[in-house]
Amino acid sequence: MTLIKSISGIRGTIGGPVGDNLTPIDAVKFAAAYGVWLKQQREKDDYRVVVGRDARISGEMIQNLVMNTLVGLGIHVIDLGLSTTPTVEVAVPMEHADGGIILTASHNPKQWNALKLLNEKGEFLDAVEGAKILELAESDTMNFADVDSLGKITRNDAYFDLHIIEVLDLPLVNVKAIEAERFRVVVDGVNSTGGIAIPLLLERLGVDVIKLYCEPNGHFPHNPEPLKEHLTDLAEAVRKHKADFGIVVDPDVDRLAFMDENGEMFGEEYTLVACADYVLSRTPGNTVSNMSSTRALRDVTEKHGGSYEASAVGEVNVVKLMKQNKVVIGGEGNGGIIYPDSHYGRDALVGVALFLSLLADKKMRVSELRKTYPNYFMSKKKIQLTPGLDVDGILKTIEERYHNERLTTIDGVKIDFAENWVHLRKSNTEPIVRVYTEAKSQDEANALADKFIAEIGEIAKL
């Protein structure tokens, strides 16, 4: 079992020893550190934090611990209850709050949970801020409020609707055109809060919704990472109901993938490509994604006359570069759409609305749309870390071996070959090394990944 402390928050498995897992004591300690840090940012009489959670079985327990810890610090809490990561991000500035906390472990299995921390803009903390909170969590200098200065918890159940209204009000979301198409869509909500939010949005757009695993009970019916091998039930439902396409999101609804009318994956990497194609066709500009994302975004951006740049992996890194480059759309190849006209966070609701607007505009089937984009194939594999493994040393050896190739080392090691690429990096959220490759065929991408996995294994034995 595992507890991972990083600049993006604290993530771990439920149960087990304190300090080795996400126990109640660990949750309280890190919630307190966040609250103390937040109060250090500005001197004021009234502090407010928005808190929401996905539908994980442990979510209510962790949320109650977190909220009451903040109350003990004299911080008022706006409790969204079951929510999504982008909904909490949208709610923070709407509530004029000082920050936000989402209780979710994203795509990790049900035994995991996490505290994901936001600033007053509803954006993830940067490396310096995250490091300060980790430091505070290990200190013994935290002071709590006296009995007359305790915070209060206020419940607000309006934010699914408020978030949807915000999405529908975006100028590029063509509500009338979508309604006219009368789409039929199957939604796999992996029994989390996407099963609430996505159908609500679709119904507001006049879509005929078939729900699959949309009961928010936290019992994930399959591995919650939205990959092809986990989505056989969705493929069957799309074909059975003769749907126009399928939608799947991860438990906290910041990742989005589509399935075409034949039950074939549109490609998680191509969620951002398609949404960017639509946005760039109406608001020309630049794009950003992370280093592990498909080259197809670069190709589509250049087709529309813009420029593309890659950031280090991690939403905060993508957002930072997006702001620097004043991009019109960006995100991550794992199905994360970041659309600045809405907010600087990955948002599956925004992605769904932009994708539907594109389909309504193109008037073509999803399988036909996919054929209009450059055809790259990606392999996403992982190596489980073992105690004592010198990952940094291994990556340094890889860097030295391939020094004559085009290298990027801002986040692990990425090697750009003429016809393909490989990216090797330590995960921030799991005890693994990620091995991402992309090539002109799936066999080539898989072979390239296997080659580097074998090479890492060889180096590790030296």
Residues annotated as catalytic are: 106
Alpha helices in 23-119 (DSSP H): 24-41, 59-72, 85-94
Name, in order, each residue with C-beta under 8 angstroms of 108's C-beta and a sequence gap of 6 or more. Answer: 11, 114, 224, 429, 430
Using CA atoms, how far apart are residues 322 and 324, in angstroms rounded to an integer?
A: 5
Task: Please check whether residue 421 is in contact with residue 414, taking contact to mean a CB–CB distance below 8 angstroms.
Answer: yes
Question: How many Å from the N-terminal Cα to the C-terminal Cα in the chain?
Answer: 28
Compute the Cα dihedral for 262, 265, 267, 268 and give only its sign.
positive
CA distance 419 to 438: 9
* Torsion 195-201-204-208 (CA) sign: negative
- Using CB atoms within 10 Å of the CB of residue 124, give its burial: 0 to 12 exposed, 13 to 18 middle, 19+ buried: buried
Q: Note the Cα 170 to chain centre separation in Å.
A: 21
